[in-house]
A and B are shown apart, each in its own frame.
Chain A
Amino acid sequence: MNKIYLTLGKQSLPGEVDSSRLIQGENVIAKDISSQQSLGLVKMAAFLEDTDLKHHDVGRVVRKTSERQSRWVIDTALTTWKKYNDKVDISTNDDTDTGLFLGLGTVDCEDDDLPISFNGTLHNYAQQMLIEAKPLAGLILLNSTTASHIAQLTNITGVNCVFSPFADAGAQAVIEAFFNIQEGNCKQALIAGGSPKITPWYFLHHRDFFQQRKEHSIFPSESAVALVANDRPQDADACLLKVKRTFSGLIKNDFPMMKDLLTELSEHKIPAPQHIIYTGDCHLNNSRKEKLAHYLPSKKVHYIDRLIGYTGAAGALHGIFFAVSLLKNSITTVNITSPTALVIAEGFNGQICYMVIGEPNE
């Protein structure tokens, strides 16, 4: 089995919480949010401090054509890439040897809400758009602009894709990187995930999501996170052994795919994962719990969104960081030599992704 290797980068969560603190029992602290801002959907939210990116020496155009989510992701991606470059000599690689894969939330408006609100008539709106909107406002609203900026600032020119908007999107980024490295389309890939900024528009997009989870007190959280994948075990924090993805629709019957995954692991003599880390959902109904217990009996299930809040497309990468912390700290439920963890990222509409994480020397 061709596994790929993961070198963890920067994890940006509110309160500077990270996965090593999470496994010690800490969690992200949410703050009160007004009903007006949250449209009455949640009472708490966790906010990430904005960054002006000046410490990365980025140009004015980058700052002018990025909104908060974009800036967080650029910051974590650049920090991660620098850290990786300090560790690994990639100077012999061609620029196109590196891929870029991102998972981002829907960008709905720029920082000061233009161009989604206005005064008066539609005619006035048009005039206001043309006079008051920033000339590059259209670019701010494209998720791909974040990829463009990161490429410009890292000189990455290889295979690429930006996925959005829910928790599966970050996993899709990891999965595409996994396959593209395996298939020789790139040698390494920078992968990053971001959560959209929390605004009234955010709550409109997530209305059903939060309404359906009201009893579980889930809160939204702003975050960004990045890592590097490559085909070399040196300096890696973990390896990615197997990935799968499926669509299960609103019934969320993904167990046939999970069965296939476990069968394939078994064929390669890889033990079933000892930890299951869920993101994108914080609660399984009884039927899904029973099935999960059937396929993976006595395994510890971690609902990471309960610890860090719902982080959307960043969740899958936070799940990987959490899995790596569990494995590094030998927190396993049974005594086995090559423990693994399964990260499951669920999109809101039925997209489900699986990633099996192992130790780098597995």
Chain B
Amino acid sequence: MNKCRVVITGMGIINAFDDSSLCATKEEYWQSISSGKSAVRPWQPKDTEDFPVKYAATVNFDLFKEQYQASLTDAPLLERRGYFGLVAAKNAFKDANLTSSIRIGCATCSGVPEIHESEMLALGSTENYPESLKEHRLDKPSELSHSGLASTNDRMVSAIAESLSMTGPVININGACAGAAQAIGVAYRAIQRGETDAMLAGGADSVTNTRVMSGLYLLGATATSSPKKAALCSPFDQGRSGLVAGEGGAFLVLESEASAKERDALIYGEIVGYGSSLDAYKVTAPHPEGKGAEAAIVSALHDADLPPEKIDYINAHGTSTPMNDVVETQTIKRVFAQKNSSVYPLISSTKSMIGHWISAAAAPEAIATVLATYHGVVPPTINLNIPDVNCDLDYVPNQAREKKIHYAMSNSFGFGGINASIIIKAYNYADK
């Protein structure tokens, strides 16, 4: 089968590095992450004291709504993350200068349905909740009456597809923290086989609500704070204590090279490999030897027909959890040590700056990876001061580094052992 080459012709993102502004373009995003800026700041759920999770990388939602009021006017009611996704997707579409004259689809991901505090309050007590649901959501139509609809898993992808008049495959994936990577992989292959000309691929998530944050805390996954020490996202550092949640939306436009060239589109990079795997180990922990992670990496390399030494940079899953960072490091060492054990790709974790977007995490990380190859700069891992003794590779601590990148890999290893790796190639216009 002749496979189309798949290139990246657009990127859109929504997140925030402070409370008073939004990060709404790939240029702002790149400026922030390449300068090592942190989006993590104090957070607590509404009307709740003493909540054990105290830091997150959040978006000022009032500011977001104010700024995007016009573009959301005709949007159906969505969850918070759905709005982020819709805006990011539209921004990517615009960045690619796309029109609906070609066949376009969308692949995205969803995690735990969002239920925000105000909705919780409207639901009322445990004993009579079916009745209170009816009272609050059906008999008295209000914003709340639609929230059940808003939280169905395909709500965001359908809103994007409808608003951009898509006719290609429209797909929603549940892949835990590898969800957006799987969406990008599925989209890449759909174009490769000629199912569609282009796909918007990525995701959006928001876990800054009591329900999901509690779930993450109960799993023991979140970073801990003390009065003396803020909970920072510090992947590969010996003091790391867990993930710090982030939120936002990020989408890439994937397009067949033929279509992009015909439109004379600017090409930021090329996707050349994708692999996914399952740990088949435990739902509560990654395989201790990184068996599943290794399978995804090897599968992506095989798909790209590349030997490991060709990879110049790895955008790590790098969650800042004690176990992930060690397992990921050992896995990388095992896969990439085949020829010369002293030379490994540079590695960095974008999560150290923007937090963990859970199901959508791979989307801003894929954008960071594409921009790293495009600019020839490896963004840093911030908050990395004293590396864990078991994390002994070059994670580009605290400061970006210039490097010509021919091939870069983005890794995503989700809860329950759902893994995905993507390989990006710097696009060479002269390359046939």
Contacts and interface: CB of A to CB of B under 8 A. Distances in A.
A271 interface: no
Interface stretch (B223-231, B327-335, B373-381, B412-420): B412-420
B278 A100 contact: yes
Nearest to A100: B278
Contacts of B415: 139, 142, 144-145, 148
B430 interface: no
A208 interface: yes
Contacts of B275: 159
Nearest to A247: B170
A144 B174 contact: yes
Contact of A160 (B113, B121, B276, B291): B276
Interface in B206-243: 210-212, 214-219
Interface string B150-184: 01111100100110011111111111100100100
A240 to B, nearest CB: 15
Contacts of B171: 163, 172, 351
B338 interface: no
Contacts of A139: 215, 219, 283-284, 415-416
B295 interface: yes
B299 A159 contact: yes
A175 B138 CA distance: 37
Given A147-B416, A205-B148, A115 B215 contact: yes
Given A126-B214, A158-B277, A61 B284 contact: yes
Contacts of A90: none
B278 A148 contact: yes
Interface string B257-297: 00000000000000000011111111110000001100100
A116 B115 contact: yes
A220 to B, nearest CB: 14
A208 B151 CA distance: 13
Contact of B49 (A104, A123, A134, A142): A123
Interface in B187-205: 189, 193, 195
A242 interface: no
B195 to A, nearest CB: 8
Contact of A158 (B130, B149, B162, B278): B278
B172 A145 contact: no
Contact of A164 (B149, B154, B414): B154
A22 interface: no
Contacts of A129: 210-211, 214, 218
Interface stretch (A23-31, A149-157, A314-322): A149-157
B33 to A, nearest CB: 27
A176 B105 CA distance: 15
Interface in A229-271: 245-250, 256-257
Instruction: Give the interface size bracket for A toward B.
Output: 35 or more
Nearest to B3: A183
B47 interface: yes
Contact of A159 (B214, B276, B282, B414): B276
A204 B147 contact: yes
Interface stretch (A9-17, A36-44, A288-296): A36-44
Given A115-B214, A117-B126, A138-B219, A104 B174 contact: yes
Instruction: Give the interface size bracket for B toward A.
Output: 35 or more
Contacts of B291: 157
Contact of A142 (B166, B276, B278, B416): B416
B158 A142 contact: no
Contacts of B46: 122
B256 interface: no
Contacts of A162: 173-175
Nearest to B159: A349
Given A118-B126, A164-B110, A65 B283 contact: yes
A326 B47 CA distance: 59
A166 B117 CA distance: 27
A305 to B, nearest CB: 18
B70 interface: no
Interface string A339-359: 000000001111100000000
Interface string B108-133: 00111101010011011111011101
Interface string B392-417: 00000000000000000000001111
A151 B280 contact: yes
Contact of A144 (B106, B175, B212, B284): B175
Nearest to B131: A36
A121 B165 contact: no
Nearest to B125: A119
Contacts of B284: 61, 65, 136, 139
A155 B166 CA distance: 38
Query: What 3 pairs across the A-B complex have the smallest Cβ distances?
Result: A204-B148, A138-B215, A148-B416
Given A116-B211, A351-B154, 12 more contacts: A96-B295, A117-B129, A121-B121, A122-B46, A123-B49, A133-B218, A144-B418, A148-B278, A163-B172, A164-B154, A169-B154, A349-B158
